[in-house]
Structure 1
Amino acid sequence: MDFQPDPGLESFRQEVRQFLQTKVPADLKGLQRCTRSPREQIMRWQKILDAQGWGAPYWAKEHGGTGWSVPQILVFDDECTAAGAPTQDGFVQKMLGPVLNAFATPEQKAEHMPAIFSGERLWCQGFSEPGAGSDLASLRTRAELVKSGDGDHYVVNGQKIWTSYAHHADWIFLLVRTNPEVKKQAGISFLLVDMKSPGVTVRPIRSIDDAHHLNETFFDNVRVPVKNLIGAEGAGWGITKFLLNNEHATTADLPELNRYMRELRQFATKLRAGGERLIDRPEFALKLARLDAELQAIGMLVQRVAKLDQEHNPASHVLGSMLKIRATELQQRITETQIEALGDYGAVCYPHPHEPASDQAYPLQDLARGIANDMFLRRASTIYGGTSEVQRGIIAKMQFQL
């Protein structure tokens, strides 16, 4: 892959920056960190992007997207984060959207795509279950086909866990077992389910950062029309592998890594220890340089994985797992270093970014708000999306096959 600078990329960056300066409403700026924006903000921001023609920045033009190159997408994400713009619905933009583009029928696209572009339909992901997280193929949520005069449908029973933002979602994309008699990977199907369906129950789980973004989701005799099946019955595992490979680049969360590093540099130049700036202390300067070098390597790997995936190169699966490991471990190290840089104040649980500012005078209080929460949240980075141990197993198997 050619990593030479694109001479047109800087003008594109300026275009995005100008758009963000003029189009991001003042009351939406800077309200979120590494978590997703509240529902109302996502919907407002999606409408603004859609009016600009940027409603699907990660998709090809033939699917209604911008058709941007990988470097352009990275610039867009980075500038949005730097500007404090609201997030989009990442579940549909980066995960379900590519699945619908690749596997959905024209009727299914006509049903869901307009609401996705307008921001009127938000999504969540129903994959993990108690006892079937890293071993996803062991899922037990059942979907039994029922043929009736009022329309063929599936009856879904089971439980999902760690369902991020299910309490805000309108629909869920769901993995279910439609055939328990075959090899476990072969009996899985991919369904779209309306969260307002009778029998769907969502219960909150508060995470270690004391935020509510996780949930348990229960399905009790939920009727799902057969038309909501994506692909063929039993084809869910293949669709899932397609989706999860896209998720590896998403879990790298390069814009957040860049933001963490910008904040850490500010700490290093403004905070003092023993009468001198942190950046002037050789041991801290060396740590900062090493983290920055790793971040640059992650940035190149993100581009390489995305390029290989566009070319349908199987090596993208191996490198995607490598990227997931290295990027999530780097998230943890940088947030730990941020807390370390704050010294005694690093032990203070700064207010969540959505809470009102306090009157207490902490160093760099505006910048430090939510950093402790980020550090706590990133403890899970090496677990969700497939644990680091599972990713290393994938790498070992694929390396042998390649």
Structure 2
Amino acid sequence: MDFRPDPGLDAFREEVRQFLKHSLPADLRVTPTFSRSKPQAVARWQKVLHARGWGAPYWPKEHGGTGWTMQQILVFDEECVAAGAPTLDGMVHKLLGPVLNNFATPEQKAAHLPAFFNGERLWCQGFSEPGSGSDLASLRTRAELKHDDNGDHYIVNGQKIWTSHGHESDWIFLLVRTDASAKKQAGITFLLADMKTPGITVRPIRSIDDAHHLNETFFDNVRVPVANRIGEEGAGWAITKFLLNNEHATTADLPMLKHYLRQFDVLADTPLMGGGRLRDRPEFALKLARLQAEVTAVGMFVQRVAALEMAHHPMAQPMGSMLKVRATELQQRITEAHVEALGDHGAVAYPNPAEEGEANNESLPMHGLARGLANEMFFRRASTIYGGTSEVQRGIVARLLFGL
């Protein structure tokens, strides 16, 4: 493919920068992080984007989106991260939204899409279960169809785990088993449920980064109207494959990788307490140079996968899996390098910027620069697990490229 710069893309980047400069409220600017921003910030920023006509930057025009190319989307994401814009609700932007656009009825779209565009409804995902992570088709949460005077509905019982932002979400999209006698992939159905429905209980999971963004979600005789089923009963697996195969190029999280690299570059030039800079140390300079080269290589890989996706090329899926492995492993290495660069205080002294307490000691070296780096390093241990483990991705490559 052609890696020469696109002059039109440069103009688009400048347009995005000017928009962020003039339209991103100062009180919404945050230190970029892996996690979805606070609900109030997500809602406000979504409204700003919607007013500009950019409320669905990842969707085609026929579905109310911007119709941007994958290259434009990557530029938009990169500039938003660089400007400190709130993280959007990726659950609906990148996962549920395309499902609704392609499989929902007109009534379902009318019920959910306006609330999304206006920032009035946040979503979470109910896929993984205890014992059903990488083997998603083995899920056991069941839904039994019932008929009564109040209409047709499902009674849902079971448990989901690793429900990101479930405690802050208004609705959940989930997979349930509606036919225990069918082949495990054939008996799965895709439902939408209001998180305020009686019988839904959310319990926090404190992750290794000491943050609360993960949860367990329990369903105890939860009533879900049949009108909230997407597609036909038993079609959930086909819908899920569509959902998981969307936009492999974004799985690399290239904007955050570039942000991490900028942070590492600043650390390299920060004066040390004993004098000098980290950049002056040959072993550090070598590590920085290698990481710069790897981020550049991943950036080119992203462009290649994006081009394959735009052409609907069958190689997009195996190449996307390869990209996911390489990029997430790089996320881990570069955040580990951050903590190593902070020295003895690296893993314990620099909490997330959103947290307060005695640990926020401004007398520590590189206090303002380093806050949140250790949290990022701890969380990125999960990068090679969520979104399909590295083992699963390697299996996809082996099957699609080598027939194994």
TM-score range, shorter chain: over 0.9
Deviation at 1:314, TM superposition (A): 2.5
Match of 2:385 among 368, 376, 383: 383
Separation of aligned partners in 2, 1:347 and 1:99: 40
Of residues 9-18 and 302-311 in structure 1, the stretch that sits farther from structure 2 once superposed is 302-311
SS at match of 2:93: helix
SS at match of 2:154: strand
The 5 A counterparts of 1:105-116 are 105-116=105-116
The 5 A counterparts of 1:260-339 are 260-272=260-272, 275-339=275-339
Preserved CA contact (<8 Å) 1:115 1:121: yes
Q: Which amino acid aligns with 1:360?
A: E
SS at match of 2:150: coil
Give structure 2 stretches of 5+ with no counterpart.
Answer: none
Q: Which amino acid aligns with 1:220?
A: D
Deviation at 1:65, TM superposition (A): 0.7
Write the deviation string for residues 31-52 of structure 1: whole angstroms up to 9, x where unpaired: 5522211011100110011001
Deviation at 1:270, TM superposition (A): 1.9
Preserved CA contact (<8 Å) 2:71 2:306: no
Deviation at 1:355, TM superposition (A): 2.3
Deviation at 1:76, TM superposition (A): 0.9
Separation of aligned partners in 2, 1:33 and 1:367: 14
SS at match of 1:184: coil
Preserved CA contact (<8 Å) 1:245 1:320: no
Preserved CA contact (<8 Å) 1:191 1:229: yes
Separation of aligned partners in 1, 2:147 and 2:314: 39
Q: Percent same amino acid among aligned pairs?
A: 70
TM-score, length basis structure 2: 0.95
Give structure 1 stretches of 5+ with no counterpart.
Answer: none
1:133 alignment counterpart: 133
Deviation at 1:351, TM superposition (A): 2.1
Of residues 176-185 and 116-125 in structure 1, the stretch that sits farther from structure 2 once superposed is 176-185
Separation of aligned partners in 2, 1:248 and 1:212: 27
Separation of aligned partners in 1, 2:185 and 2:152: 24
Separation of aligned partners in 2, 1:312 and 1:30: 36
2:36 alignment counterpart: 36
Q: Which amino acid aligns with 2:390?
A: S
Write the deviation string for residues 300-357 of structure 1: whole angstroms up to 9, x where unpaired: 2223323333433332221121111111100000000111111223133312111248
The 5 A counterparts of 1:1-400 are 1-246=1-246, 248-272=248-272, 275-356=275-356, 358-400=360-402
SS at match of 1:17: helix
Of residues 312-321 and 260-269 in structure 1, the stretch that sits farther from structure 2 once superposed is 312-321
Q: Which amino acid aligns with 2:368?
A: D
Q: Following TM superposition, where does structure 1 have runs of at least 4 consecutive aligned residues deviating by more than 3 angstroms?
A: 247-251, 271-276, 356-359
Deviation at 1:152, TM superposition (A): 1.2
SS at match of 2:368: helix
Alpha-carbon spacing, 1:208–1:161, altered in 2? closer, same or farther (3 Å): same
Deviation at 1:221, TM superposition (A): 1.0
Deviation at 1:247, TM superposition (A): 6.8
Of residues 347-356 and 42-51 in structure 1, the stretch that sits farther from structure 2 once superposed is 347-356
Preserved CA contact (<8 Å) 2:54 2:66: yes
SS at match of 1:163: coil
Preserved CA contact (<8 Å) 1:31 1:354: no
Deviation at 1:111, TM superposition (A): 1.1
TM-score, length basis structure 1: 0.95
Deviation at 1:137, TM superposition (A): 0.7
SS at match of 2:151: coil
Of residues 153-162 and 357-366 in structure 1, the stretch that sits farther from structure 2 once superposed is 357-366
Alpha-carbon spacing, 1:294–1:347, altered in 2? closer, same or farther (3 Å): same
Q: Which amino acid aligns with 1:394?
A: I
Write the deviation string for residues 9-46 of structure 1: whole angstroms up to 9, x where unpaired: 22211111111111111111125522211011100110
Separation of aligned partners in 2, 1:312 and 1:102: 17
Preserved CA contact (<8 Å) 1:248 1:385: no
Alpha-carbon spacing, 1:309–1:191, altered in 2? closer, same or farther (3 Å): farther
Separation of aligned partners in 2, 1:229 and 1:140: 18
Deviation at 1:220, TM superposition (A): 0.9
Separation of aligned partners in 2, 1:115 and 1:333: 39
Write the deviation string for residues 75-112 of structure 1: whole angstroms up to 9, x where unpaired: 11111111111111011001111111121122211111
Alpha-carbon spacing, 1:167–1:323, altered in 2? closer, same or farther (3 Å): same
Separation of aligned partners in 2, 1:201 and 1:91: 20
Separation of aligned partners in 1, 2:232 and 2:249: 27
Cα-Cα RMSD? 1.8
Separation of aligned partners in 1, 2:317 and 2:238: 13
